[in-house]
Protein backbone atom coordinates (compact mmCIF):
# COMPACT_ATOMS: atom_id res chain seq x y z
CA UNK A 1 0.00 0.00 0.00
CA UNK A 2 1.34 3.36 -0.89
CA UNK A 3 0.86 6.04 1.69
CA UNK A 4 1.00 9.76 1.24
CA UNK A 5 0.24 12.18 3.98
CA UNK A 6 -0.88 15.77 3.65
CA UNK A 7 2.70 16.98 3.70
CA UNK A 8 3.57 14.73 0.78
CA UNK A 9 0.60 15.91 -1.22
CA UNK A 10 1.50 19.53 -0.61
CA UNK A 11 5.08 18.90 -1.62
CA UNK A 12 3.94 17.17 -4.79
CA UNK A 13 1.81 20.13 -5.78
CA UNK A 14 4.62 22.56 -5.09
CA UNK A 15 7.06 20.43 -7.04
CA UNK A 16 4.86 20.95 -10.04
CA UNK A 17 4.86 24.69 -9.62
CA UNK A 18 1.34 24.84 -8.30
CA UNK A 19 0.01 27.06 -5.58
CA UNK A 20 -1.50 25.02 -2.79
CA UNK A 21 -5.12 25.42 -1.80
CA UNK A 22 -7.38 23.11 0.09
CA UNK A 23 -9.46 22.60 -3.05
CA UNK A 24 -6.45 21.39 -4.97
CA UNK A 25 -5.39 19.18 -2.11
CA UNK A 26 -8.82 17.63 -1.92
CA UNK A 27 -9.05 17.08 -5.67
CA UNK A 28 -5.62 15.58 -5.95
CA UNK A 29 -6.15 13.32 -2.94
CA UNK A 30 -9.48 12.14 -4.25
CA UNK A 31 -7.87 11.19 -7.53
CA UNK A 32 -4.83 9.68 -5.91
CA UNK A 33 -6.84 7.40 -3.70
CA UNK A 34 -8.99 5.76 -6.34
CA UNK A 35 -8.46 3.43 -9.24
CA UNK A 36 -11.73 4.41 -10.85
CA UNK A 37 -10.52 6.94 -13.38
CA UNK A 38 -13.28 9.34 -12.42
CA UNK A 39 -14.69 12.15 -14.49
CA UNK A 40 -14.69 15.77 -13.35
CA UNK A 41 -18.31 15.41 -12.27
CA UNK A 42 -17.57 12.34 -10.15
CA UNK A 43 -14.63 14.00 -8.48
CA UNK A 44 -16.81 17.02 -7.83
CA UNK A 45 -19.47 14.90 -6.12
CA UNK A 46 -16.82 13.23 -4.01
CA UNK A 47 -14.99 16.36 -2.93
CA UNK A 48 -18.23 18.20 -2.27
CA UNK A 49 -18.90 15.92 0.67
CA UNK A 50 -16.02 17.45 2.55
CA UNK A 51 -16.15 20.90 1.00
CA UNK A 52 -19.76 21.61 0.10
CA UNK A 53 -18.95 25.06 -1.23
CA UNK A 54 -16.58 23.91 -3.94
CA UNK A 55 -17.75 24.57 -7.49
CA UNK A 56 -17.76 22.30 -10.48
CA UNK A 57 -15.97 24.94 -12.51
CA UNK A 58 -13.06 24.85 -10.11
CA UNK A 59 -12.81 21.09 -10.47
CA UNK A 60 -12.61 21.43 -14.22
CA UNK A 61 -10.01 24.19 -14.07
CA UNK A 62 -7.96 22.33 -11.51
CA UNK A 63 -7.90 19.00 -13.33
CA UNK A 64 -6.90 20.73 -16.54
CA UNK A 65 -4.15 22.55 -14.68
CA UNK A 66 -2.92 19.32 -13.12
CA UNK A 67 -2.85 17.74 -16.54
CA UNK A 68 -0.94 20.68 -17.99
CA UNK A 69 1.87 20.41 -15.49
CA UNK A 70 2.01 16.63 -15.80
CA UNK A 71 0.69 15.83 -12.37
CA UNK A 72 -2.08 13.59 -13.64
CA UNK A 73 -3.10 11.67 -16.73
CA UNK A 74 -6.13 12.35 -18.87
CA UNK A 75 -7.51 9.16 -20.20
CA UNK A 76 -10.14 9.69 -22.72
CA UNK A 77 -10.57 12.53 -25.15
CA UNK A 78 -7.25 12.39 -26.91
CA UNK A 79 -8.66 15.05 -29.16
CA UNK A 80 -11.40 17.57 -28.49
CA UNK A 81 -14.01 16.08 -30.74
CA UNK A 82 -14.72 12.76 -32.42
CA UNK A 83 -12.60 12.05 -35.47
CA UNK A 84 -13.25 9.44 -38.10
CA UNK A 85 -11.16 7.30 -40.37
CA UNK A 86 -12.07 5.01 -43.26
CA UNK A 87 -8.78 3.16 -42.94
CA UNK A 88 -9.74 -0.03 -41.14
CA UNK A 89 -6.36 -1.73 -41.24
CA UNK A 90 -4.96 -1.90 -37.75
CA UNK A 91 -2.59 0.98 -37.25
CA UNK A 92 -1.41 3.40 -34.64
CA UNK A 93 -2.19 7.07 -34.51
CA UNK A 94 0.13 9.98 -34.06
CA UNK A 95 -1.77 12.79 -32.41
CA UNK A 96 -0.29 16.27 -32.30
CA UNK A 97 -0.71 17.91 -28.91
CA UNK A 98 -0.48 21.33 -30.52
CA UNK A 99 -2.57 21.40 -33.71
CA UNK A 100 -4.54 18.21 -33.02
CA UNK A 101 -3.78 16.74 -36.38
CA UNK A 102 -3.82 12.98 -36.57
CA UNK A 103 -1.69 10.87 -38.85
CA UNK A 104 -1.35 7.16 -39.22
CA UNK A 105 1.84 5.66 -37.90
CA UNK A 106 3.36 3.15 -40.25
CA UNK A 107 5.14 1.31 -37.51
CA UNK A 108 4.43 -2.35 -37.04
CA UNK A 109 1.37 -3.34 -35.06
CA UNK A 110 1.96 -4.52 -31.57
CA UNK A 111 2.25 -8.15 -30.93
CA UNK A 112 -0.99 -9.71 -29.77
CA UNK A 113 0.85 -11.00 -26.76
CA UNK A 114 0.60 -7.73 -24.94
CA UNK A 115 -3.11 -8.21 -24.73
CA UNK A 116 -4.37 -9.82 -21.56
CA UNK A 117 -6.33 -12.43 -23.37
CA UNK A 118 -8.59 -13.59 -20.60
CA UNK A 119 -6.71 -11.94 -17.82
CA UNK A 120 -8.94 -10.68 -15.09
CA UNK A 121 -11.95 -11.73 -17.11
CA UNK A 122 -11.81 -8.73 -19.37
CA UNK A 123 -12.68 -9.59 -22.95
CA UNK A 124 -10.58 -7.51 -25.33
CA UNK A 125 -12.20 -6.80 -28.67
CA UNK A 126 -9.94 -4.16 -30.08
CA UNK A 127 -6.82 -2.27 -29.23
CA UNK A 128 -5.45 1.03 -30.31
CA UNK A 129 -2.19 2.74 -29.63
CA UNK A 130 -2.11 6.48 -29.29
CA UNK A 131 1.21 8.21 -29.72
CA UNK A 132 1.10 11.81 -28.60
CA UNK A 133 3.66 14.46 -29.33
CA UNK A 134 4.38 17.15 -31.87
CA UNK A 135 3.98 16.91 -35.62
CA UNK A 136 6.87 18.11 -37.77
CA UNK A 137 5.32 21.50 -38.41
CA UNK A 138 4.40 22.30 -34.82
CA UNK A 139 7.77 21.01 -33.71
CA UNK A 140 9.51 23.53 -35.91
CA UNK A 141 7.30 26.34 -34.65
CA UNK A 142 7.90 25.44 -31.05
CA UNK A 143 11.64 25.19 -31.45
CA UNK A 144 11.71 28.45 -33.34
CA UNK A 145 9.88 30.31 -30.61
CA UNK A 146 12.05 28.78 -27.90
CA UNK A 147 15.37 29.78 -29.38
CA UNK A 148 14.67 33.08 -31.08
CA UNK A 149 17.84 34.19 -32.82
Partner DNA sequence: TTAATTGCAAAGGTTTTGCCGCCGC
Partner DNA sequence: GCGGCGGCAAAACCTTTGCAATTAA
Residues that bind its own copies (CB under 8 A): 28, 31-32, 35-41, 43, 63, 66-67, 70-88, 92-94, 96-97, 101-108, 110, 114-116, 119-136, 139
Nearest in space to 65 (alpha carbons), one of 2, 18, 8: 18
Q: Check if the beta carbon of residue 78 is closer than 8 Å to that of residue 130.
A: yes
Strand partners, 104: 93
The residue from 34, 37, 56, 99 that contacts DNA (CB under 7 A) is: 56
The residue from 12, 29, 45, 51 that contacts DNA (CB under 7 A) is: 51
DSSP string, 89-108: S--EEEEETTT--EEEE-SP
The residue from 12, 29, 45, 58 that contacts DNA (CB under 7 A) is: 58
Q: For DNA, which is the closer residue by CB, 33 or 55?
A: 55
DSSP label at residue 111: P
Q: In whole angstroms, how far apart are CA 122 and each of 112, 118, 119, 130?
A: 15, 6, 6, 21
Q: Does 19 bind DNA (CB under 7 A)?
A: yes
Q: Does 50 bind DNA (CB under 7 A)?
A: no
Q: Which does 101 bind (CB under 5 to 8 A by kind): DNA, its own copies, none?
A: its own copies
Q: Check if the beta carbon of residue 40 is closer than 8 Å to that of residue 54.
A: no
Q: Does 75 bind DNA (CB under 7 A)?
A: no
Chain residues in the site for DNA (CB under 7 A): 14, 18-24, 39-41, 51, 53-58, 60-62, 64-65, 77, 80-82
Amino acid sequence: MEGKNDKDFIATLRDHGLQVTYQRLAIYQALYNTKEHPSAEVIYQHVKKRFPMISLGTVYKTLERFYEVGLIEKVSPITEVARYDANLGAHHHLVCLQCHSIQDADTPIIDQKIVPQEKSGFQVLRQQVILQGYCPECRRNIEASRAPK
